């Protein structure tokens, strides 16, 4: 990497920055964490200069010229922080996103530590921990629980309200532990807001759980049977996982909508999430249009990484789907086994009752008991099969769909850039024509248009590069998370299988002497 540089003077105005830093240290880490791990992306050289020049901080653009130098990252980051206030609107495509250099977080820290001025280390230390935590996948100290499903209202207007409890030590929240009541459409509303803000810039926004008309209708109608309790439990668990995933995303965690969702006691009702609403229909139309467009975009892929990754995700998607289908069959059959075992247990008990040889009769009753216990085991195992294995797979199938969506957005971004370039070319041609035809006013107009489109082309290129960078980082984070998730679940699932076997041993060992006692 480049030689070490003097850190930017932390003199003027810096203390305020630090305060802001303290409050928004999360912002800092989030900015830092938008670092990209792969050094092969094109350099948005012009970007930071403009960015900084709009800053009233008086920093000279030259000092912030970006290259692979780590120091500049910090400089840039501090700049960014001062720009930001906690209420700042999150990154939108129209604004230049925080500049990032292709540097991995951990390598950042080393040079920093040595060459700092006094007040800096404190902040950087903290941020270093958080950065390292980030790198290790251990995220910020925030835990979400979704519990206590409660039916509110009656008849077809009824709905389930869930308690969302947040426990956190993050300072951006006013309290360290709090809870609110939310309904399913609130979750969908949150997702829809986050998606509209972040998806098209390349962030992988975790998808919300799916709607289920059948399931909800049963609950509304008030059927208190096991299938509707199962449905509610399945949904509760899914909502919990959804929120956990969302808060573990460093950028999304900063979002005010998310914070509002977690904290405020009253939330405006999200009506646009209803399938048959105007917004719902609009969504469906857009989706169809997107699908058509996707087929017509022929992107000139200059970066093999993206093609490779897309292919990878495509393969992964197919295989997860296959596996998921098989696991669903497994769950179903295990439930059947459980039911059949219970039925057999009953008939064995009846047989034991009929049997007039006392010792045999007792042994048969014991057999019936063993079979009943085994039935319990099967039920528990089916439960584990489902909640650990099957739901993980379906979550990831939907997550991968989100990843694919993000890649698609990149394509659209490219298309926009391409289109701008084509238009610029056309405008230049028009200008040339006007020159020849010698129409001074038209020439001026053409020149204006050319300037306008030049800017758009530059913007398009910047956006494209930005989204590419973001995606690379996001995919890296996603993969790390995926590996961790799967590994954890696989281990837990294996343990459940082992446990089942051990229980079986216990039961049969208890039965054996009874069988031997038949005289």
Partner 1 sequence: MEGRQEAGKENKPSSISVDPQGDSSLQVEISDAVSERDKVKFTVQTKSCLPHFAQTEFSVVRQHEEFIWLHDAYVENEEYAGLIIPPAPPRPDFEASREKLQKLGEGDSSITREEFAKMKQELEAEYLAIFKKTVAMHEVFLQRLAAHPTLRRDHNFFVFLEYGQDLSVRGKNRKELLGGFLRNIVKSADEALITSMSGLKEVDDFFEHERTFLLEYHTRIRDACLRADRVMQSHKCLADDYIPISAALSSLGTQEVNQLKTSFFKLAELFERLRKLEGRVASDEDLKLSDMLRYYMRDSQAAKDLLYRRLRALADYENANKALDKARTRNREVRTAESNQQLCCRRFERLSDSAKQELMDFKSRRVSSFRKNLIELAELELKHAKGGGTQDTWV
Q: Which tokens belong to 242? A: 């959804």
Q: Which of 264, 315, 444, 448 binds partner 1 (CB under 8 A)?
A: 315
Q: Is 312 in the site for partner 1 (CB under 8 A)?
A: yes
Site string (468-507) toward partner 1, x via CB under 8 A: -----------x--xx--xx--xx-xx--xx--xx-xx--
Count of residues in contact with partner 1, rule CB under 8 A:
55
Closest distance of CB 484 from partner 1, Å: 9
The residue among 113 and 512 lying less far from partner 1, judged by its C-beta, is 512
CB nearer partner 1, residue 122 or residue 359: 359
CB 162 within 8 A of CB 148: yes
In the DSSP assignment, the letter for residue 96 is P
Tell me the C-alpha distance between 181 and 265, whole Å.
7
- Taking CB under 8 A as the binding criterion, the range among 28-36, 82-90, 179-187, 323-331 that sits at the site for partner 1 is 323-331
Which of residues 292 and 519 has its CB atom nearest to partner 1 in the complex?
519
Q: Where are the alpha helices (DSSP H) in 385-439?
A: 391-437
Among residues 172 and 515, whose Cβ is nearest to partner 1? 515
We find the least distance from the C-beta atom of residue 366 to partner 1, in angstroms, to be 9
452 near 409, Cβ under 8 Å?
no
Task: Decide: 219 and 235 in contact? Cβ < 8 Å.
Answer: no
Q: CB-wise, 223 or 346, nearer to partner 1?
A: 346
- Give the helix ranges, DSSP H, for 199-303: 213-221, 226-247, 250-253, 256-263, 278-296
Q: Is 397 in the site for partner 1 (CB under 8 A)?
A: no
Residue 287 tokens read as 């989706």
| Least distance in angstroms from the C-beta of 251 to partner 1 | 24
**Member of 208, 320, 413, 434 binding partner 1 (CB under 8 A):** 320
Q: Distance between CA 75 and CA 124 in Å, rounded?
A: 12
Minimum distance, C-beta of residue 135 to partner 1, in the bound complex (Å)? 15
Which residues within the stretch 186-245 sit at the binding site for partner 1 (CB under 8 A)?
none
Q: Is 60 in the site for partner 1 (CB under 8 A)?
A: no
Spatial distance between the Cα atoms of 507 and 502, rounded to a whole number of angstroms:
9
Pairwise CA distance, residues 327 & 130, whole Å: 38
CB of 376 to partner 1, least distance (A): 15
- Cβ at position 79, least distance to partner 1 in Å: 36
Nearest to partner 1 of 77, 388 (CB atom): 388
> Which of 290/317 has CB closer to partner 1?
317
Question: In angstroms, what is the minimal distance from the CB of 360 to partner 1?
Answer: 5
Cα Rg of the chain (Å, integer): 30
Q: How far is the CB of 37 from partner 1 (least distance, A)?
A: 14
Query: What is the nearest approach in angstroms of partner 1 to the Cβ of residue 233?
Result: 24
Cβ density class 82-93: b for 16+ within 10 Å, e for less: bbbeeeeebbeb
Are 36 and 472 in contact by the 8 Å Cβ rule? The answer is yes
Cα 114 from Cα 228, distance rounded (Å): 61
Sheet containing 142-152: give its strands across.
142-152, 159-168, 177-183
Closest CA to 215 of 203, 232, 240: 232
Residue 264 CA to residue 267 CA, distance in Å, equals: 7
Q: What are phi and psi of 286, to 5 degrees?
A: -60, -40
Residue 485 beta carbon to partner 1: minimum distance, rounded to whole angstroms: 10
| CA separation for the pair 298, 290 (Å, rounded) | 14
Tell the smallest beta-carbon distance from residue 475 to partner 1 (Å).
13
H helices present in 248-357, as ranges: 250-253, 256-263, 278-296, 304-354
Query: Shortest Cβ distance from residue 326 to partner 1 (Å)?
Result: 4
- Of 239 and 345, nearer to partner 1 (C-beta) is 345
Interface with partner 1 by CB under 8 A: which range of 37-45, 149-157, 185-193, 316-324?
316-324
**Residue 210: closest CA among 393, 387, 394, 389:** 394
Residue 511 within binding range of partner 1, rule CB under 8 A? yes
**CA angle 414–419–424, rounded 5-degree value:** 125
Which C-beta is closer to partner 1: that of 39 or that of 513?
513
Taking CA atoms, 233 is separated from 181, 185, 227, 333, in Å, by 16, 17, 10, 21
* Minimum distance, C-beta of residue 389 to partner 1, in the bound complex (Å): 9
Among 363, 406, 471, 475, binds partner 1 (CB under 8 A): 363
Interacting residues with partner 1 between 341 and 360 (CB under 8 A) = 341, 343-344, 347-348, 350-351, 353-357, 359-360
Sequential DSSP letters for 139-189: --SEEEEEEEEEEESSGGG-EEEEEEEEEE--TTSSSSEEEEEEEHHHHHH
Residue 304 contacts partner 1 per CB under 8 A: no
| Residues 142-171 interacting with partner 1 (rule: CB under 8 A) | none
Tell me which of 286, 340, 444, 448 binds partner 1, using CB under 8 A: 340
Residue 281 or 486 with smaller CB distance to partner 1: 486
Locate 357 and state its tokens: 């040889």
Binding site for partner 1 (CB under 8 A): 312, 315-316, 319-320, 322-323, 326-327, 329-330, 333-334, 336-337, 340-341, 343-344, 347-348, 350-351, 353-357, 359-360, 363-364, 367, 479, 482-483, 486-487, 490-491, 493-494, 497-498, 501-502, 504-505, 508-509, 511-512, 515-516, 518
């Amino acid at each position: 990497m480049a030689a070490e540089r003097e850190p930017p003077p932390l003199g003027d105005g810096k203390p305020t920055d630090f305060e802001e830093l303290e409050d928004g240290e999360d912002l800092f880490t989030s900015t830092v964490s938008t670092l990209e791990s792969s050094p092969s992306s094109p350099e948005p050289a012009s970007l930071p200069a403009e960015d900084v020049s709009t800053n009233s901080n008086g920093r000279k653009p030259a000092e912030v010229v970006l290259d692979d130098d780590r120091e500049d990252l910090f400089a840039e980051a501090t700049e960014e922080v001062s720009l930001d206030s906690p209420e700042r609107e999150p990154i939108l495509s129209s604004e230049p996103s925080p500049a990032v250099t292709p540097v991995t977080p951990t390598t950042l820290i080393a040079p920093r530590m040595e060459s700092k001025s006094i007040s800096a280390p404190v902040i950087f230390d903290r941020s270093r921990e958080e950065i390292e935590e980030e790198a290790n996948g251990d995220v910020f100290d925030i835990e979400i629980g979704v519990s206590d499903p409660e039916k509110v209202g009656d008849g077809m207007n009824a709905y389930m309200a869930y308690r969302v409890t947040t426990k956190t030590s993050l300072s951006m929240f006013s309290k360290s532990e709090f809870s609110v009541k939310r309904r399913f459409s609130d979750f969908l509303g949150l997702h829809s807001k986050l998606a509209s803000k972040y998806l098209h810039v390349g962030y992988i926004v975790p998808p919300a759980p799916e709607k289920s008309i059948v399931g909800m209708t049963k609950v509304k109608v008030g059927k208190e049977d096991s299938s509707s309790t199962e449905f509610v439990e399945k949904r509760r668990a899914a909502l919990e996982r959804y929120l956990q995933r969302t808060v573990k995303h460093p950028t999304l965690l900063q979002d005010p909508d998310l914070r509002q969702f977690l904290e405020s006691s009253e939330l405006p009702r999200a009506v646009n999430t209803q399938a048959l609403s105007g917004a719902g229909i609009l969504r469906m139309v857009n989706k169809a249009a997107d699908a058509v467009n996707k087929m017509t975009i022929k992107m000139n892929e200059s970066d093999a990484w993206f093609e490779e990754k897309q292919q990878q995700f495509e393969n992964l998607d197919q295989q997860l789907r296959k596996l998921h289908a098989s696991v669903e069959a497994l769950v179903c059959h295990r439930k059947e086994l459980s039911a059949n075992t219970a039925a057999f247990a009953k008939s064995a008990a009846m047989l034991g009752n009929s049997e007039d040889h006392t010792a045999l009769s007792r042994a048969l009753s014991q057999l019936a008991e063993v079979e009943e216990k085994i039935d319990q085991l099967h039920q528990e195992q089916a439960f584990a099969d489902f909640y650990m294995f099957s739901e993980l797979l379906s979550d990831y199938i939907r997550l991968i769909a989100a990843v694919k969506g993000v890649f698609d957005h990149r394509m659209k971004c490219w298309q926009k850039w391409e289109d701008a370039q084509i238009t610029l070319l056309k405008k230049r041609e028009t200008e040339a024509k006007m020159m020849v035809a010698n129409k001074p006013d038209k020439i001026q107009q053409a020149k204006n248009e050319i300037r306008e489109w030049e800017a758009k082309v530059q913007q398009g290129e910047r956006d494209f590069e930005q989204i590419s960078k973001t995606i690379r980082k996001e995919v890296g984070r996603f993969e790390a998370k995926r590996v961790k998730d799967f590994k954890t679940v696989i281990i837990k699932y294996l343990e459940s299988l082992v446990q089942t076997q051990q229980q079986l041993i216990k039961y049969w060992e208890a039965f054996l002497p009874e069988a031997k006692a038949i005289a």
